[in-house]
Amino acid sequence: MSNITPVAQIESLARAPLDPQVLSVRKTVQRLQIEMLVPADLAYFQGHFPTQPILPGVAQILWVARFVQRWLAPSMIFQHMDRVKFKSLIYPGDELMLDVRCIPTGVSYQYLRAGRVVGSGYLISGSDETSA
């Protein structure tokens, strides 16, 4: 049992980062590539899981949406996901490449580690914007 109080746990979560460390960004009108490092102190790792932290799928999807809106299509709003696959677990310290491509209905994305796909899917947009 942990000696950490609930208040201390909440304070720790509030200080923990939510995003990966972005190492580089390459952007064209229809494509976004982000090299990133997954920090060990991400808020998502706390309690998921205590003995072997893994990055939750919801965080991976959130990053795609957030980065698309930040660097590719600021007004794009996603209504749903399609064909989302988590092919391999993502751990603290992993270096990843996020490759996002605009498609007529939104974006397709792949997370790659050492050239191998570890996650992929489609985020379907409710707006007509498919490029910045």
Give the pLDDT band (50/70/90) at residue 16. Answer: confident
The model's pLDDT over 56-102, given as tens digits with 9 standing for 90+, comes to 999 999 999 999 999 998 989 999 999 999 999 999 999 999 999 99
* 3-state SS class at 30: coil
With 80 as the cut, is the pLDDT of residue 41 above it? yes
Half-sphere exposure (CA, 13 Å, Cβ side) for 107?
32
For residues 85 and 59, give the distance between their C-alpha atoms in angstroms, rounded to a whole number. Answer: 13
Q: What is the fold of 6-125?
A: Thiol Ester Dehydrase; Chain A (3.10.129)
Which pTM was predicted? 0.84
Joined tokens for residue 91: 């751990």
Mean pLDDT computed over every residue of the chain:
88
Q: Judge contact between 82 and 110, C-beta under 8 A.
A: no
The runs of H, that is alpha helices, within the chain are 6-15, 57-67
- Phi, psi values for residue 120, rounded to 5°: -160, 165
Which range is least confidently modeled, 15-24, 46-55, 88-97, 123-132? 123-132
Higher pLDDT, 67 or 47: 67
pLDDT of residue 12: 55
* 3-state SS class at 8: helix
Q: Per-residue pLDDT averaged across 46-54, rounded?
A: 84
Q: Give domain limits for the chain.
A: 6-125
Give the pLDDT band (50/70/90) at residue 132. Answer: very low
Give the pLDDT band (50/70/90) at residue 47. Answer: confident
Joined tokens for residue 10: 């909440």
